[in-house]
Amino acid sequence: MSLRKCLLFLAGVSVLSMLSACGGGESSSPSENQELVNGSTASKPWPSLACDPPAPNSQRNAYFGELHLHTEYSLDAVATRLKPEDAYRFALGEAVAAPPYDEAGNSLVPPHQIDRPLDFAAITDHGEWLGERQLCTDPTIDQVAYYSPECTLFREDKELGFLLFGGGAAAFSPDIFPKLESGSLDSLTETGKQRAPFCGALGEKCEAAARGPWMDTQLQAERFNQPGCFTTFNAYEYTLSPQSDNLHRNVIFRGTEVPTIPVSANEAPTPTDLWRELDEACTGDCEYLTIPHNSNLSNGRMFASPNDVDASDSYDVDERRKAEPLIEIFQVKGSSECSQSEGASEDDPLCDFEQLASTNFVQFFLGVNPLPVAPAYTNTVRYGLKQGLLLERQFGANPFQYGFVASTDSHFGLPGSVDEQNFPGHRDVPPVNGVKDDAYNNPGGLAVAWAEENTRDALFDAFKRKETYATSGPRLQLRVFGGNQSGLPENMCQGSGESFVRQGDAGGVPMGGELHVGQGRPRLAIWAAADAWPRENGRTKAVPLARMQVIKGWLELDESGNPVTKHKVYDVAGAEQSDWQVDTADCSVSGSGPAQLCGVWDDPDFEPSQSAFYYARVVEQPTCRWLTRQCLAAPENLDCDNPPEEWAGCCAVDTPPTVQERAWASPIWYKQ
Amino acid sequence: MNCLRFSWFGRLGKVLARQPLLTFLLLGGLLYVTEARWFIPLQAQTPIVIEAEKVERLRQQWTQKLGRAPEHNEMLAVLEGVALEEMLIAEAVARGVHRNDPVVLLRLRQNLEFLGMEVSPGALEHAYDLDMHRHDPVVRKRLRLLMESELLAGARPAPTPLDSEPPTPEPLHKFSFSQIFREQRIGPDELNRLQDARPESAAELSDPFLLAHRFHQVSEVQIARELGPDLARAVSSAPIGRWVGPIQSVYGDHLIWLEGRERVTPNLDIDRVRIERQIQAEKQNLELALADLRARYRWHVEPGEE
For B284, the closest of A13, A41, A55 (CB atoms) is A41
Number of domains in chain B: 3
Other beta carbons within 10 angstroms of residue B145's beta carbon come to 18
A646 belongs to a structural domain: no
- Average pLDDT per run of 10 along chain A, which is 672 residues long? 41 40 34 31 45 88 98 95 96 94 86 94 95 91 87 89 69 46 41 74 89 95 92 96 90 96 90 93 94 94 82 78 97 95 80 91 81 88 96 94 98 97 95 94 98 97 98 98 96 93 97 94 97 94 96 95 95 88 96 94 96 98 97 93 93 90 98 92
- Chain B residues touching residue A573 (CB < 8 angstroms): none
For A139, the closest of B137, B222, B267 (CB atoms) is B137
Chain B residue with Cα closest to A226: B269
Distance CA A518, CA A513 (A): 16
List residues bridging with B260 in a β-sheet: B176
Predicted confidence at residue B1, as pLDDT, reads: 42
**Domain identity same for A505 and A452:** no
Chain B residue with Cα closest to A10: B275
B231 belongs to a structural domain: yes
Looking only at the bridges linking them, the beta strands covering A61-66 and A120-122 are parallel
Q: Do B269 and A27 touch (CB under 8 A)?
A: no
Count interface pairs A-B at CB distance under 8 A. Answer: 179
Distance CA B36, CA B31 (A): 8
Write down which residue in A465, A490, A512 finishes a domain. A465
CB B206 within 8 A of CB B163: no
**Domain identity same for B62 and B133:** yes
**Domain identity same for B144 and B186:** no
Distance CA B93, CA A14 (A): 25
CB A339 within 8 A of CB A305: no
**Domain identity same for B144 and B66:** yes
CA dihedral B28, B29, B35, B36 (to 10 degrees): 150
For B85, the closest of A25, A50, A532 (CB atoms) is A25
Amino acid at A18: M
Gap from A42 CA to chain B (nearest CA, Å): 7
Q: Do B211 and A17 touch (CB under 8 A)?
A: no
- Chain B residues touching residue A12 (CB < 8 angstroms): 275
Q: What angle do CA B210, B211, B215 make, to 5 degrees?
A: 150
**Domain identity same for B54 and B147:** yes
Q: Does B278 touch chain A (CB under 8 A)?
A: yes
3-state secondary structure of A181: helix
CB A394 within 8 A of CB A609: no
Chain A residue with Cα closest to B66: A431
3-state secondary structure of B300: strand
List residues bridging with A566 in a β-sheet: A554
B202 belongs to a structural domain: yes
B272 belongs to a structural domain: no
Distance CA B186, CA B198 (A): 17
Write down which residue in A435, A465, A495 finishes a domain. A465
Predicted confidence at residue A491, as pLDDT, reads: 95
B126 belongs to a structural domain: yes
Q: Do A106 and B77 touch (CB under 8 A)?
A: yes
Predicted confidence at residue B132, as pLDDT, reads: 85
- Chain A residues touching residue B218 (CB < 8 angstroms): 54
Predicted confidence at residue A15, as pLDDT, reads: 41
CB A274 within 8 A of CB A230: no
3-state secondary structure of A95: coil
B89 belongs to a structural domain: yes
Average pLDDT, chain B: 80
Helices (H), chain B: 2-18, 20-34, 52-66, 72-94, 97-100, 102-114, 124-129, 132-135, 137-153, 188-194, 202-205, 220-227, 229-236, 270-296
Distance CA A468, CA A478 (A): 9
3-state secondary structure of A471: strand
Residue B92 DSSP class: H
3-state secondary structure of B85: helix
3-state secondary structure of B277: helix
Write down which residue in B25, B42, B59 finishes a domain. B42
**Domain identity same for B112 and B26:** no
- Chain B residues touching residue A1 (CB < 8 angstroms): 269, 271-272
**Domain identity same for A448 and A594:** no
Query: Could you say which residues from 91 to 110 on chain B have a Cβ atom under 8 Å away from some Cβ of chain A?
Result: none
Packing angle of the helix pair B137-153, B102-114 (nearest 10 deg):
170
Q: Does B228 touch chain A (CB under 8 A)?
A: yes
**Domain identity same for A497 and A616:** yes
For B251, the closest of A54, A103, A596 (CB atoms) is A596
- Chain B residues touching residue A431 (CB < 8 angstroms): 66-67
Gap from A84 CA to chain B (nearest CA, Å): 15
Q: Do B225 and A51 touch (CB under 8 A)?
A: no
Q: Does B199 touch chain A (CB under 8 A)?
A: no
A650 belongs to a structural domain: no
3-state secondary structure of A76: coil
**Domain identity same for A431 and A383:** yes
**Domain identity same for B94 and B75:** yes
Distance CA A217, CA A212 (A): 9
Chain B residue with Cα closest to A78: B65
3-state secondary structure of A516: strand
Residue A662 DSSP class: E
Distance CA B227, CA B222 (A): 9
Chain B residue with Cα closest to A156: B61
**Domain identity same for A441 and A483:** no
Of B210, B233, B249, B263, which to mutate for an interface test with A (greatest number of A Cβ within 10 Å)?
B210
- Chain A residues touching residue B265 (CB < 8 angstroms): 52
Residue A588 has phi, psi (to 5 degrees) of -80, 155
**Domain identity same for A486 and A413:** no
Q: Does B77 touch chain A (CB under 8 A)?
A: yes
ipTM topping 0.95: no
Give the closest residue to A644 by CA, choosing from A629, A634, A654.
Answer: A634
Distance CA B111, CA B132 (A): 8
- Chain B residues touching residue A596 (CB < 8 angstroms): 183, 208-210, 251
Amino acid at A100: P
Other beta carbons within 10 angstroms of residue A653's beta carbon come to 6
Distance of CA A367 to the CA centre of its chain: 23
Q: Do B266 and A52 touch (CB under 8 A)?
A: yes
Split at pLDDT 50, 70, 90, the class of B212 is confident
CB B45 within 8 A of CB B90: yes
Dihedral sign, CA of A633, A636, A640, A644? negative
B242 belongs to a structural domain: yes
**Domain identity same for B155 and B58:** yes
Chain A residue with Cα closest to B291: A36
**Domain identity same for A82 and A123:** yes
Chain A residue with Cα closest to B89: A25
Give the closest residue to B258 by CA, choosing from B203, B202, B177.
Answer: B177
**Domain identity same for B64 and B36:** no
Mapping DSSP onto H, E and C, the string for A102-149 reads CCCCCECCCCECCCCCCCEEECCCECCCHHHHHHHHCCCCCHHHHCCH
Determine the structural domain holding residue B64 and report its residue range. Answer: 48-160+296-301
3-state secondary structure of B225: helix
Predicted confidence at residue A632, as pLDDT, reads: 96
CATH code of the domain containing B213: 3.10.50.40
B273 belongs to a structural domain: no
3-state secondary structure of A369: coil
Give the closest residue to A58 by CA, choosing from A458, A512, A477, A481.
Answer: A458
Cβ-in-10-Å burial (0-12, 13-18, 19+) of B90 comes to buried
Other beta carbons within 10 angstroms of residue A428's beta carbon come to 18
Distance CA B103, CA B108 (A): 9
Chain A residue with Cα closest to B269: A49
CA atoms within 13 A on the CB side of B281: 17
CB A542 within 8 A of CB B250: yes
Each residue of A599-632: pLDDT tens digit? 999 999 999 999 999 999 999 999 999 999 999 9
- Chain B residues touching residue A50 (CB < 8 angstroms): 169-170, 266-268
Number of domains in chain A: 2
Gap from B79 CA to chain A (nearest CA, Å): 8
Edge-first strand order for the sheet with A508-510 is A508-510, A477-483, A523-529, A596-602
Packing angle of the helix pair A204-224, B270-296 (nearest 10 deg):
110
CB A249 within 8 A of CB A274: yes
- The DSSP-derived string for A10-38 is HHHHHHHHHHHH-STT--S-HHHHHHHHH
Q: Do A54 and B209 touch (CB under 8 A)?
A: no
Distance CA B279, CA B127 (A): 37
Cβ-in-10-Å burial (0-12, 13-18, 19+) of A496 comes to buried
Split at pLDDT 50, 70, 90, the class of B76 is confident
% pLDDT > 90, chain B: 20
A338 belongs to a structural domain: yes
**Domain identity same for B54 and B154:** yes
Determine the structural domain holding residue A628 and report its residue range. Answer: 474-637+657-671
Each residue of B163-210: pLDDT tens digit? 566 667 778 889 999 999 999 999 999 899 999 899 999 988 999 998
Q: Do B264 and A223 touch (CB under 8 A)?
A: no
Chain B residue with Cα closest to A53: B266
Other beta carbons within 10 angstroms of residue A275's beta carbon come to 24
**Domain identity same for A366 and A495:** no
- Chain A residues touching residue B144 (CB < 8 angstroms): 21
Write down which residue in A465, A485, A500 finishes a domain. A465
Each residue of B267-282: pLDDT tens digit? 777 777 777 777 777 7
CB A528 within 8 A of CB A618: yes
**Domain identity same for A396 and A492:** no
Q: Do B160 and A497 touch (CB under 8 A)?
A: no
Q: Do B77 and A542 touch (CB under 8 A)?
A: no
**Domain identity same for A352 and A494:** no
Residue A16 has phi, psi (to 5 degrees) of -60, -45
Other beta carbons within 10 angstroms of residue A297's beta carbon come to 26
Q: Do B267 and A50 touch (CB under 8 A)?
A: yes
B105 belongs to a structural domain: yes
Q: Does B250 touch chain A (CB under 8 A)?
A: yes
- Chain A residues touching residue B140 (CB < 8 angstroms): 25
A512 belongs to a structural domain: yes
Q: Does B174 touch chain A (CB under 8 A)?
A: yes
3-state secondary structure of A642: coil
**Domain identity same for A447 and A520:** no
**Domain identity same for B178 and B246:** yes
**Domain identity same for A545 and A418:** no
CB A224 within 8 A of CB A232: yes
A144 belongs to a structural domain: yes
